Amino acid sequence: MSSILLVASTAIFAYINKQIPDPYLDEIFHIPQTQQYCAGNYSSWDGKITTPPGLYMLAKVYACTIFASCNVNVLRSFNLLGQAIMLPLVLHRIGRTNGNVRHVDPVILQLMPVFYFFSFLYYTDVWSTIFAITLFKLSLSSSSNHASDGHKSCLIKAVIGILSISLRQTNIIWVGFAFAVEIGSLVQPVPVHRIDGVVPFLAAIALASLQLISKYVVRRLPRLLISYAPPIIIFIAVLVYNQGSITFGDKSNHTAGIHVPQVFYFSGFATFLAWPILLPQFLPALVDLYSHPRRLVVALSTVLAAVYFTTRVHPFLLADNRHYTFYVFRRILSPFKYALVPVHVFTAYVVFVRSFRAAPFLPTFAFALATAAVLVPSPLIECRYFIVPYLVWRCLLHQQGVRKLVKLEIAWYVLINIATLGLFVGHSFEWPSEPGIPQRFMW
C-alpha cells in the first residue's frame, strides 16, 4: 500500500508544483533561507523565522548533492521524500526489532491529513515529525530489547534526538517523552504484599521501589545518558545563548503563556480524525461519565474554569483567513465557547482515558504530560502543532492492539486529503491589500 501511496503522492506533488510554482505562505521565509545556505551564506538569517536551522542544513545537503540546485521544486521534494519514502522505511526497519511496532501500518501515519498536506510544501513539520517519531519508536525498541541495546543504538538515539530539536525546538519535550517510555519499561511493578498499617506499607513500597530502581535503572544509566543527555544539554546551551527564549526570531509574536484549552482543542481534533477507530469507545465513555456524577461535575467545573481563565486569542488567528482555524474559531470555538465544555470533557476522556484503559501508567501519563507541555504554552491555535502528539497517540493505540475499522479510518483520511488538497489547488481568492496575488485555503 505504501507503494501505491508513493505513486499517488508523486503525481499530486507534480500537479501542485505546476499549479503553484512560487513559494507560498511560510515558504517565503524557509525557501530563501535555505537558498542562502546553499550559496554558503551561513551568517544570513531571516528574523521572521522562529525555528532552528536544522531543516536548511539537511535540505542543503540533499539539494546540492543530488540536484545541484535549491529551487522551489527541489526543496519541496525533500519533504515528499520524507513522507513517502523515509517514514515508511524507518518504521519497517524498527518494526523488525520490536513486535509492538511491527503492526503499525506506516500508511496510517503517512496519510494523517495535516502531515500529508504539508509534505507537498517546504515547511519544517515533515522532517521534525519524522525524527520525533523515530526517536519514540527507538525508545520502544530499546524497551523490548534491553540486551541488544548497545552503545551504537544509544548513539543513534542521541543523534536522532539532536536532529529532532534542530528542526523544532519543542521536540525536546518528545525527547523527554522517549526517555520516560524507556524508563517505564525498566521499572517493573512493585511487589508488595499486604501489610497492616499505613506507615509500614509506604515504607515497604519505598524500599521495593529503590531496589527495583537500583536493579533495573541504575544498571542502564550510562546507556540512558548516552541516548538522551546530548540533545538535552544542547537544548539547554541554546536556551542560555538565546537569553532564556526557545524562539529564535519574531519573539514579540511568539511569547509563551498559559492556554489550557489547547489540550481540549487537540482532543477534539484527535476525535474528529480518529472517529472510525474511536467509535466503539463513544457509548462506554458516556456511560462512564454519567455513572459518576460527582466526577463529572468536577470535570465540567475544571474545564469551565480553564476555558474562562486561560483562553487566549492570538492576533494571527484573527487576521489570517487562509487557515481553517480562522473559521473554526470564529464560527464554533468563539460563539460556543462555554457550550462546548461538555464536548471538551467527552473528547478529553475518550482520548486520554478510554484509549489507554489497558495501557501501562507511565507511558500514557508521560504522553499526556508531553502533549500539555507542547500545547499549553502556545497562544496560537495551529493544527500543525497537533501532528506529533496525534501520531504518537495513534501509535500508542496500535501498541495496544487497536486495529478495528482501520480501512474506514484510511478511507476517512483519504477523503479529507482529497478535500483539503483539492481546495488548496483548485480555489484561490485575493486580498484587497494584495491585488493580483492568489491566496489559498489550508490547514
The 10s digit of each residue's pLDDT in 352-372 is 999 888 777 778 889 999 999
> What proportion of the chain, given as a percentage, has pLDDT over 90?
67
Calculate mean pLDDT across residues 145-168. Answer: 85
The larger pLDDT score, comparing residue 104 to residue 264, is at: 264
pLDDT of residue 346: 97
Alpha carbon distance 46, 31 (integer Å): 11
Mean pLDDT taken over the chain: 88
Alpha carbon distance 260, 116 (integer Å): 27
391: CB partners within 8 A, 6+ apart: 109, 112, 115, 129, 133
Q: What is the pTM of this model?
A: 0.90
Lowest mean pLDDT among 249-253, 320-324, 353-357, 439-443: 249-253
Specify whether the CB–CB gap between 404 and 277 falls below 8 A: yes
pLDDT of residue 308: 97
Residue 70 has pLDDT above 90, yes or no: yes
Q: Report angle CA 427, 431, 433 to the nearest 5 degrees.
A: 160
Alpha carbon distance 417, 406 (integer Å): 16
3: CB partners within 8 A, 6+ apart: none
* Calculated CA dihedral for residues 281, 287, 293, 294, nearest 10 degrees: -40
Residue 100 has pLDDT above 50, yes or no: no
For 435, phi then psi, to 5°, come to -65, 140
Residue 421 has pLDDT above 60, yes or no: yes
Number of neighbouring beta carbons within 10 Å of residue 313: 14
Calculate mean pLDDT across residues 65-92. Answer: 94
Give tens-digit pLDDT for 124-147: 999 999 999 999 999 887 765 555
Lowest mean pLDDT among 169-178, 238-247, 261-270: 238-247
Amino acid, single-letter form, for residue 372: A
Q: Is 68 left (phi over 0), alpha (psi -120 to 50) or beta?
A: left
- Alpha-carbon distances, residue 5 vs 8, 103, 111 (angstroms): 5, 18, 9
Residue 408, Cα to own-chain centre: how many angstroms? 23
